[in-house]
Amino acid sequence: MAQIEIRDLGIDYRKPKSNEVFSAVDNVALSVEKGEFVTIVGSSGCGKSTLLMAVAGLVSLTRGSIQIDGKQINGPGPDRAVVFQEASLLPWRSVRGNVKFGLEMQRWNGGDLNERAMQMIRLVGLGRFSDYHPHQLSGGMRQRVNIARALAVDPQVLLMDEPFGALDAQTREIMGTELLRIWERDKKTALFVTHDIDEAIFLADKIVVMGRNPGHIKEVIKVNLPRPRNEAILDSEDFHELRKRLRAHLAEDMSSMQLVQEVA
């Protein structure tokens, strides 16, 4: 039995100022094995965040079901933790305070909160910055804090929504490598949304390609590149192949978007 089992998932949103609904995601089925790193790519607006937030238990399902370890999800739970795209740190709390926040909300009772938080902060390489406040950190450092906060609660499943979306290419690459280093320790099941093709391949055991109108899964691509990985694989033959395949998918989506624009 897979760790995450998504069946016939559909999520409708109400359109603003009307009673009409529209489907952000429809007919999505996906299984994710324990310890698998799954990346989700697709053009903007195809429902990637919606899918992720559904797994997080932060949006309600219109159709279908999501099970984790065989149990139907019902709202957020301690088995999952989310890393949001940005701006989800409490500005009035220090790095340590922010990492402790998730633990506090979960009523964590696995030992000293401060110690646990410091452990995670060191893990993401911010040991010297534990007393800094978010406004004193760079974007990359903030995302490290977000990751530390999510890891601190020791979830079964890590959900990440474009965590490096706001970073420059260089930093993004470093963060990707860092993330893999951390992930290799205990190989938590991970769902990772991204716009970046290279990032999607570099991190993944499996890439989910989504299409739009309504959001659906177009293809699931297995990535068999060896682990542990480093930047060297970016130049490998297999990597090139995968990159080409993903490009073709996204180009297809772009051309359908242009069509929409022409009609409009």
Ligand X SMILES: Nc1ncnc2c1ncn2[C@@H]1O[C@H](COP(=O)(O)OP(=O)(O)OP(=O)(O)O)[C@@H](O)[C@H]1O
Positions that interact with Mg ion (CB under 5 A): 49
CB of 82 to ligand X, least distance (A): 13
Nearest to 134 by CA among 173, 177, 86: 86
Q: Measured from the CB of residue 38, what is the shortest distance to ligand X in angstroms? A: 15
DSSP state of 17: T
Which residues, 6+ apart, have CB-to-CB distance to 116 below 8 Å? 100, 103, 108, 110, 152
The tokens describing 129, both together, are 């910055």
Residue of the chain from 5, 25, 39, 101 that contacts another protein (CB under 8 A)? 101
Q: Contact between 151 and another protein (CB under 8 A)?
A: no
Radius of gyration in angstroms for the set of CA atoms belonging to the chain, rounded to a whole number: 19
- Count the residues of the shown chain that bind another protein, applying the rule CB under 8 A: 30
**Would you call the peptide bond into 16 cis, given omega within 30 degrees of 0 as the criterion?**
no
Token reading at 208: 């989910």
Q: Which does 87 bind (CB under 5 to 8 A by kind): Mg ion, another protein, ligand X, none?
A: another protein
Residue 95 interacts with another protein (CB under 8 A): yes or no: no
* Binding characters for another protein, 165-204, by CB under 8 A (x = yes): ----------------------------------------
Q: Which residues contact 230 (CB under 8 A, 6 or more apart)?
A: 177
What's the burial of 198, exposed, middle or buried (CB within 10 Å: 0-12/13-18/19+)?
Answer: middle
Is residue 50 a contact residue for ligand X (CB under 6 A)? yes
User: Is 106 an interacting residue with respect to another protein (CB under 8 A)?
Assistant: yes
Residue 62 engages ligand X in binding (rule: CB under 6 A): no
Asked if residues 80 and 159 have their Cβ atoms less than 8 Å apart, the reply is yes
Report whether 82 contacts 59 (CB < 8 A).
no
For residues 60 and 136, which CB has a smaller minimum distance to ligand X in the complex?
60
Report residue 232 as tokens. 């060297």
* Subset of 14-53 contacting another protein (CB under 8 A): none
The Cα-based distances of 136 to 86, 126, 141 in angstroms read 15, 13, 10
Identify which of residues 42 and 155 has a Cβ nearer to Mg ion in the complex. Answer: 42
Q: Which stretch binds another protein (CB under 8 A): 13-21, 42-50, 88-96, 222-230?
A: 88-96
- Judged by DSSP in three states, 222 sits in strand
Q: Which of 6, 9, 38, 46 binds ligand X (CB under 6 A)?
A: 46
* Residue 69, token pair as written in the block: 């370890």
Choose the binding region for another protein from 101-109, 190-198, 231-239, 253-261 (rule: CB under 8 A): 101-109
Binding site for another protein (CB under 8 A): 56-58, 76-78, 80-82, 84, 87-88, 90-94, 97, 100-102, 104-107, 131, 133-135, 153
